[in-house]
């Protein structure tokens, strides 16, 4: 349901104070300094799509500032996209100055100071979402702030019409599942825009790919934790579970499948190890995060076609003295090295990553 705040029925002497409070409560705490001496007029309408806030602002000329003191009192860092629908603005952040015209958009980070100067009455759509949902490095966001993106600028040409249409649609008309998906689409589109603008040369520094590598490394280092789960992984990287699953959609597996695959690979390696004291199957399973020995045995047999004990007997019999223990990758999944890099998937035996 949209919330609309307007100065229309507020006494003239209280309009500016009311507008300062309305903007600060709806968006983020800011200072608004109107131009001119006449009565100030402003209107802001806000709705939500899951974790995405969509606002439309119409107001008279003025200056809007986000100061260090106001930032210090804020809790969560947000990334915002402002889409200018009428009038012009001068936007400043991170030492860069952008002239924003009708149809342009700007990206800004609410965790750092910025200002908008509107020389005359204006209207704009503002999209706000938690910075952690984007999954892009803060350094990339810094490269993009302080510059205007026009309708003829690459990916921005596709993004602008979508955002304009989304802001013009009533948010309460979408079922929760659709609203959540739309918010996720905005996250992906904005992350793509930031990556494109931050790396215009098309380098290999792809933010989502680097995030996936960090997530894989985190999983490899925490395989022994029985509580390792998509929820915990997402929380450790300050992203949503939904975005985590979206990252893995292009990896040919799910987060849960990847965790299970890596655990099975490490169990297979340890069970095939020769010499010294031979650990029990249940001890190996527990060491690599399997809580239930029965569940581990079923998962292992489904992956390798034999029970853990049969696997240990077969592998120790096949490996000669001094040879490195081998373990087959889980059928139907790619092999992964300790840094989380894909290798060639195969069904025969091959070196397994340490994952430690």
For residue 135, what is the domain's CATH number? 2.60.120.10
Residue whose tokens read 């789960």: 229
Q: Do 145 and 291 belong together in one domain? A: no
Handedness of CA 286, 291, 294, 299 (dihedral sign): negative
* Residue 172: per-residue pLDDT: 67
**Cα separation of 323 and 310, whole Å?**
19
Domain end among 143, 171, 198? 198
Asked whether 87 and 123 are in contact (CB, 8 A), the reply is: yes
Residue 317 CB contacts under 8 Å (≥ 6 apart), including other chains:
none
| Together in a domain, 42 and 169 | yes
The two structure tokens encoding residue 72: 């210090």
- The reply to whether 25 falls in a domain is yes
How confident is the model at residue 337, as a pLDDT?
38
**Ordered mean pLDDT values, 10 residues apiece, the chain (356 residues):** 90 96 95 90 93 95 95 87 96 93 93 96 95 82 88 72 86 77 84 81 54 83 92 84 80 85 88 75 93 92 89 69 45 39 33 34
DSSP label at 151? T
**Per-residue pLDDT at 158:** 78
Give me the phi and psi of 148, to 5 degrees please: -90, 140
Q: What is the pTM of this model?
A: 0.60
Which domain does 177 fall in, by range? 3-198
Q: Can you give the pLDDT at residue 328? A: 47
User: Could you tell me if residue 304 is inside a domain?
Assistant: yes
Helix 241-249 / helix 176-198 crossing angle, nearest 10 deg: 60
Domain boundary among 177, 198, 219: 198
Predicted pLDDT of residue 207: 54
pLDDT of residue 210: 67
Q: Is the same domain home to 232 and 191?
A: no
In a domain, 355, yes or no: no
Find out whether 180 and 304 touch, Cβ atoms under 8 Å: no
């Amino acid at each position: 349901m949209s919330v609309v705040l307007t100065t229309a029925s507020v006494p003239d002497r209280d309009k500016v104070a009311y507008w300062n409070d309305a903007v600060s409560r709806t968006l983020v705490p800011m200072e608004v300094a109107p131009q001119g001496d006449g009565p100030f007029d402003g209107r802001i309408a806000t709705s939500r799509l899951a974790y995405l806030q969509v606002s439309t602002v119409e107001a008279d000329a003025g200056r809007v500032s986000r100061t260090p003191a106001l930032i210090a009192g804020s809790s969560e860092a947000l990334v915002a996209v402002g889409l200018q629908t009428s009038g012009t603005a001068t936007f400043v952040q991170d030492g860069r100055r952008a002239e924003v015209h009708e149809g342009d958009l700007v990206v800004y980070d609410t965790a750092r100071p910025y200002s908008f100067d509107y020389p005359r009455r204006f209207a704009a759509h503002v999209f706000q979402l938690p910075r952690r949902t984007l999954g892009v490095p803060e350094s990339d966001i810094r490269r993009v702030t302080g510059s205007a993106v026009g309708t003829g600028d690459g990916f921005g040409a596709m993004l602008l019409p979508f955002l304009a249409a989304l802001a013009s649609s009533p948010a309460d008309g979408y079922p929760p599942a659709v609203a959540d998906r739309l918010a996720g689409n905005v996250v992906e589109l904005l992350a793509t825009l930031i990556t494109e603008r931050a790396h215009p040369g098309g380098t290999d520094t792809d933010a989502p790919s680097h995030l996936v590598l960090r997530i894989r490394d985190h999983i490899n280092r925490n395989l022994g934790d029985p509580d390792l789960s998509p929820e915990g992984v997402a929380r450790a990287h300050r992203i949503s579970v939904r975005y985590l699953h979206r990252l893995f959609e292009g990896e040919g597996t799910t987060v849960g499948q990847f965790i299970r695959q890596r655990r099975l690979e490490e169990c297979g390696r340890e069970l095939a190890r020769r010499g010294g004291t031979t650990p029990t199957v249940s001890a190996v399973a527990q060491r690599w995060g399997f809580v239930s020995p029965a569940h581990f045995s079923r998962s292992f047999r489904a992956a390798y076609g034999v029970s853990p004990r049969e696997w240990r007997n077969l592998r120790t019999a096949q490996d000669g003295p001094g040879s490195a223990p081998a373990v087959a990758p889980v059928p139907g999944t790619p092999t992964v090295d300790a840094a989380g890099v894909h290798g060639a998937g195969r069904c025969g035996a091959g070196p397994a990553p340490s994952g430690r």
